[in-house]
Structures are given as structure tokens and as C-alpha cells.
Amino acid sequence: MVQGFIVLSWMRRRFPWIFIPGLSALLIAVPAPPADAGVNTWTSARLYGGTVYGLAASPANPSIVLAGTGGAGVFRSTDGGVSWHRSSSGMPHDTIVFTFAFAPSAPDTVFAATYASGVYRSTDAGRSWVRITSSIDVGSFYYVAVDPSNAARLFIGSASGVWRSTDGGATWTLLTWPTSDNIAGEALAIAPSNPQVVYVVGPSMLRSADGGTTWTDMDPVTEAASVWVDPSHANTLLVGGLDGVYRSTDGGASWQSVATVAVNDVVSRLVPDPAVPHRFWAGTYAAGLFRSDDDGSTWHSYSTGLPAKRWVRGITFSSAGALCAVTQFGVFRRAQTASSWTPSSSGITGSEVNSMAYAPSNSAVLYAGLQGQGLFRSTDNGTGWSYAGLRGQNVNSVAVSPTGASTIWAATLTGVRRSRDGGVTWVKQFAVPDDAPTTVAVAGSSPSTLYVTTYQSGVYRSTDGGWTWRRLTLPGDVVAFCILIDPTNASRIWVGTRFDGIVRSTDGGATWTSGRGSQPSGYDAVSLAIDPHNHQRLFAAIEAGSGGGVYVSSDSGGTWSRSTGGTAPESADVVAADPSTAGRIYAGDDDPEALGVYRSDDDGVSWRNISAGLITRTPRSLIVQPAGIIHLGTTAFGGGSGGGIFNYTPTG
């Protein structure tokens, strides 16, 4: 009996983020015990990390820390950042949260600035939230500053404007200056010794002496991105910019370069250490984290234990030590006496999951390829996950050998690598100059036969397990998004493209039949699946602004028809057939108005949405185990982060 399926997809039409849902060979698989997945409900898997933008500890109780993720809302810690739990009540659970600001005069009051959802206020130290910017016709805000002596007075900033409220966000005033109605800042600070003095740094370099009513220009600082004001002297401030830190003692009328922190990088975070006088911490876009113990005059790298070449997005100080937030990897912690940083994201599910695959020989073993975090492995049906190599890599696609759960291939931006020990060690097997692989697939009926699709160079085939490759010329100049291999014939393949629809070959790519005309011209065929119970029936996920969704073929890809019955996906980015139940198909919709997962029980004739309870609803990868358990890898809408993996056990 044949079980399993192949799901491969790559690259969103709307956004240039790379993603490839994974591969599972179509073989006789050993059914595994059910995963830790809710019945007819979505359960978050224990895959921790992902991009954390905002990080703030309560000034009154440093055991309470808030983390704002890039697509999974707010997480809260009550043990200084050692462990975390979701705390987004009152805001959409998949909100992108950029930053927080606690009110020093009201310790339980904290504000959160978000992408596309406005600014929120909490009066219970981050347990629940209320939106306070409904009256402003702007959705995304990047910074918040609160008057240290008045929690009702605050400033918020978007990409092109600054607003002030004096009543806790009930009403707002758009602040302007003489030469423009728009103030474009990267950061804002209020002088603690005189809260009427306000600074904005960024493309606009401005100082106000009357609380933002009027402004004067400051001398510019190249790529200014962060600011700190001396608590005792309102005219003394530090600004982080290109190469390092700059000091002014005259309210920004002039600047002196204090020290170089990182050449050709920007100091995007500049934070004093509340426990050690004269100590500052600086986070950069790509050079890591730095520390100064002499008020910023000299700096030393303090990045031991942190991932290389990642943006340090947040810095704060808790009861458990210093904390920093790093793009794609989450939160790291460093105790006062520690010599390096250690991961501290337990409970934060914010990873962007590009691809997933289960092992046909042991379906309890799953792999997940993450954006920037490398490869992860589960041996318990997707409940818990552990690191499996390729740290720092964007793993766009993963394939598992049909004969062994520890032999895997991973496609990254720099090529295809193979591991024979479950990800402990890797060997590079494939690379194309000035190009990158989009998908790697292994044939279920021929374990030594592999295919790789690329951005610009078409498809490659190997018949010796990946040691040598032969280029297969596709018809026309197309982008190849995904590949599907017949489970019983390694030479029978289908490739989803842009510009030429779904092309097919019955001789291993020696000749091709064009797909032009079988789908609407110019649409992206980003994911393909074969019916495990009828190999003549195929399913395609088509991404498009209109006319997309799931297409079905009953003649091995000769002709295709769009599925429109019931609540059908409008723009599908992944499709999978259930090996346990004939006729059951799943698809992910990335249309902003219809995000989520859809199910069909009649081979794609009609559909219904099964996304209730799904916290992060933008799908990126999807697999179905032989027992029928669904595993969904997510991304944040727009790319860059996500909500990790969700598991689901269907009934009926």
C-alpha cells in the first residue's frame, strides 16, 4: 500500500521572502503514534525562537519582562526572561510588536508599538492590552516614549509622523515643524530632568523645549538610529549612528564623535546599564553587541554566544541578568558573572518555518527548515524540536531519504547539503554560481535520484545520491518554484513555474511538455501535490491577486481546473493530500482577507476554513503524516518572522 505525499513550494508572489514547504517521499511509511496535536484544534509545537523586536523589563519589578515578536504577538516572563508565555489578550495574536515603553511613574502601565495594528496600552504589566490609536489613520508605529513623571503624557512615532497625547492615548495631536508636516524619526527621547525637552533623531534631527509644540533643527548625525539623554542634564545626550556613538553637550547644536563601535554599521540600540554606573550597551545591525564601561568613550565586543551577523533588536536588564533580542534567534540572557550569552527563548514561538518533511521510514521523525535559524528535528511527531545543524542558514527546503530517517538534504541560499547523521555533520553537494536552489527532492522509488530547482538555472538531476548533477533545460525562460516526483516512477516529474504554468516530463527531464495554457498565464504555481490514492490526480497551489487558489488535474497534469466550491482559497501558497483519508486535501491561503488553512473532503471540489484557534494564520509549509496529523509552518504576513509550527488532528 502506498502512503505519503510530496509538498514543495517556494517564494511568495507578493513578497521576496524565500520559503519552501518540505518534502516527504511517497513510500510505504511506518505509521507513528499520534502527535501531541489538539483534536480539531491547533496546538503550538515546542519550537522556540524567532525574531523578537521589542524587549522591556519592568522598572518596578525586573522579574517581569515583555518580548514583542515579529508575528506572534507579545510574550511575558515572570522569572526575568528565563521562560515565557503568550500574553497578547486584546490584540491580534499574530501582531508584529516593535517596541515597549513602561511608565516609570505607574509601574503597571506599559505601551506597545506595532506594525499595522497601532499602539496598545496595558495597565496590568502586560497581561492584557487595549488599542489607543483608533483615531489615527496610521497603523504602524516604531517607537514610544513616556514622560518619566506623568504616565498620561507620551509620544509615538511612525515612519512619517510624531504624535503626542496628554491623556494616556484618549486623544492625540500630530506634531509638526516649520519646514514639513511630517517628522521622520528613528527614535525619540524625553529628558528626565526636564520633560519639556524632547529629542527626535533619524532623518529628522529635532529638539523641542516646549514638549513638542515647536522644534529646532539639530546638527545632523549620519544614520542616527538611537538616543539617550543624561538624567541630570537635559542638553547632554548620546546618539547612535553610523560607525559609532556621538555626544552633544549643547542640545544637539554640535556633536563630537565619542568612539567608533563598528565600522560601516549602525548603533541601532543604545542603553545604559541601571546596575552599573557609566556602563552602556550598544546593539548594531550586523556586528553584534558592544559594551562601554566609561560613558561610551571606548567599546568592546560582548557577542560571545550570540549568532553572527544578526541585528540586535532589543536590550534590557532583568532579575536574571542582561537580556538581548536578536533577529530570527529570539532572546539571549547573560548573568552578571557569565562569560557568554545563552539562549533564553523557552516558550517564545516566533520562528519562520520555510519547509517541513517527515521521514518515510519512520514518520515520527520530522524536520523543519527555518529562516535564519537552520534545521530542526523532532522525534516525537512534531511536539518538541531540537537543533539539527546549519545555524544561521535559511533552509528553504528539506528532503528525507526514503530508506533512513537520518539521511537528509537541505537547500539553502548557498547550495544543497547532505547529512547522514540527522544533521550533526554536513557535506556540500550542489551549488550554482550566481544562483540559489529553491527546492531539493528525493525520489521515493529511487533513493539515489534527486532533483533540485533553482532561481534562474532551471532543474538539475542526480542519480548517484547528489554527488554529480546534470542540468535539465526547462521550456522557456521560467522561474521554477517547486517539483513533484511520481511515487512509483523517478523519471515522471512536474515542475511549478512562473510564466509557463506546470511543466511535466516522463523521461527524467530529457523532454518536457509545456504547461502554458493549462493555467492562467503569468500565475505562480508554488506548490504541487499528488493524490496518494490516485496518482493521476494532482493538485496545484496558485498564487495570484485574482484567479488563484487550488487547481485540480485528473489526467496527470494534462488539463487543470480551478476549484471554487464552498469557501475555496483565493490565493493558495501550499497544498497537500492526506495519505490517511481518500479525497481529503488541505491548502493554505495567503490572501490578506482570507489567511489560514482550508480543507476539502471531496478531492478539492468544495472547501471549508479550519483556521479557528490558529494563532498565526499565514501559512508557509504544510505536511500530513500517514496517521493524518497536520503540521503547519507559519510566517508573519509580509515575511521576516512567524509563529512557529502548529499541529492539528482532524476528525470526521
Amino acid in the structure at residue 481: F
Q: Are 154 and 188 in contact (CB under 8 A)?
A: no
| Residue-level pLDDT at 177 | 84
Residue 546: pLDDT over 90:
no
Strand intervals (E) in 319-373: 321-326, 330-334, 342-343, 349-350, 353-359, 362-370
C-alpha to C-alpha distance for 343 and 76, rounded to whole angstroms: 16
Q: Which residues pair with 634 in a beta bridge?
A: 619
Cell numbers for 115? 506594525
Q: Which residues pair with 588 in a beta bridge?
A: 574, 597
Radius of gyration of the chain (CA): 26
Name the residue among 72, 88, 77 with its Cα closest to residue 55.
77
- Per-residue pLDDT tens digits for 324-341: 999 889 999 999 889 999
C-alpha to C-alpha distance for 528 and 417, rounded to whole angstroms: 23
Q: Are strands 38-39 and 645-649 parallel, antiparallel or unpaired?
A: parallel
Residue 31: pLDDT over 60:
no
- Give the model's confidence band at 520: pLDDT under 50 very low, under 70 low, under 90 confident, else very high: low
Which residue, chain included where needed, has cell 509644540? Answer: 213
For residue 229, how far is the Cα from the chain centroid? 33
| Residue-level pLDDT at 37 | 63
Mean model confidence pLDDT for the chain: 90
- Give the model's confidence band at 27: pLDDT under 50 very low, under 70 low, under 90 confident, else very high: very low
Cell numbers for 599? 480543507
- At residue 334, φ and ψ (nearest 5 deg) are -140, 115
- Give the model's confidence band at 521: pLDDT under 50 very low, under 70 low, under 90 confident, else very high: low
Amino acid in the structure at residue 220: P
Q: Are 280 and 261 in contact (CB under 8 A)?
A: no
Domains of the chain with bracketed CATH: 9-47+351-649 (2.130.10.10), 49-175+303-349 (2.130.10.10), 176-302 (2.130.10.10)
Q: Are 640 and 46 in contact (CB under 8 A)?
A: no
Q: Are 108 and 116 in contact (CB under 8 A)?
A: no
Which residue, chain included where needed, has cell 567608533? Answer: 260
Q: How far is CA 371 from CA 283, 394, 636, 639, in A?
A: 21, 4, 12, 10
Region 342-369 average pLDDT: 95
- Give the model's confidence band at 547: pLDDT under 50 very low, under 70 low, under 90 confident, else very high: confident
3-state secondary structure of 376: strand
Q: Are 497 and 515 in contact (CB under 8 A)?
A: yes
Q: What is the DSSP letter of 594?
A: S
C-alpha to C-alpha distance for 453 and 439, rounded to whole angstroms: 5
C-alpha to C-alpha distance for 143 and 56, rounded to whole angstroms: 13
Q: Are strands 572-577 and 565-566 parallel, antiparallel or unpaired?
A: unpaired
| Residue-level pLDDT at 642 | 86
Name the residue among 222, 230, 263 with its Cα closest to residue 246.
222
Region 40-55 average pLDDT: 91
Give the Cβ contact number of residue 329 at 10 Å: 25
C-alpha to C-alpha distance for 528 and 475, rounded to whole angstroms: 19
Region 297-303 average pLDDT: 95
Q: Are 48 and 349 in contact (CB under 8 A)?
A: yes
- Per-residue pLDDT tens digits for 357-401: 999 999 999 999 999 899 999 999 999 999 999 998 999 999 999
C-alpha to C-alpha distance for 159 and 386, rounded to whole angstroms: 38
Q: Are strands 489-498 and 585-589 parallel, antiparallel or unpaired?
A: unpaired
Residue 29: pLDDT over 50:
no
Q: Specify the higher pLDDT residue, 27 or 459.
A: 459
Give the Cβ contact number of residue 530 at 10 Å: 26
Region 132-155 average pLDDT: 95
| Residue-level pLDDT at 456 | 86
| Residue-level pLDDT at 532 | 95
- Give the model's confidence band at 8: pLDDT under 50 very low, under 70 low, under 90 confident, else very high: very low
- Per-residue pLDDT tens digits for 483-508: 999 999 999 999 998 878 899 999 99
- Give the model's confidence band at 638: pLDDT under 50 very low, under 70 low, under 90 confident, else very high: low
Which residue, chain included where needed, has cell 546534470? Answer: 470
Q: Are 535 and 3 in contact (CB under 8 A)?
A: no
Q: What share of the chain is helix, strand, coil (3-state, %, to 5)?
A: 0, 45, 55
- Give the model's confidence band at 243: pLDDT under 50 very low, under 70 low, under 90 confident, else very high: very high
Residue 438: pLDDT over 60:
yes
Region 454-468 average pLDDT: 93
Q: Are strands 565-566 and 606-609 parallel, antiparallel or unpaired?
A: parallel
- Per-residue pLDDT tens digits for 263-289: 999 999 999 999 999 999 999 999 999
Q: Which residues pair with 271 in a beta bridge?
A: 281
Q: Are 429 and 416 in contact (CB under 8 A)?
A: yes
Q: Is 477 exposed, middle or buried (CB count within 10 Å of its CB: 0-12, 13-18, 19+)?
A: exposed
Residues near 277 by Cβ (< 8 Å), separated by ≥ 6? none
DSSP of 188-237, one letter per residue?
EEE-TT-TT-EEEESSS-EEESSTTSS-EEPPP-TT--EEEE-SS-TT-E
Q: Are 353 and 7 in contact (CB under 8 A)?
A: no
Region 412-421 average pLDDT: 95
Give the Cβ contact number of residue 621 at 10 Å: 32
C-alpha to C-alpha distance for 309 and 286, rounded to whole angstroms: 4
| Residue-level pLDDT at 328 | 87
- Give the model's confidence band at 639: pLDDT under 50 very low, under 70 low, under 90 confident, else very high: low
Helices then strands, each counted (H, E), the chain: 0, 60
Residues near 203 by Cβ (< 8 Å), separated by ≥ 6? 184, 185, 186
Percent of the chain at pLDDT above 70? 92
C-alpha to C-alpha distance for 637 and 352, rounded to whole angstroms: 11
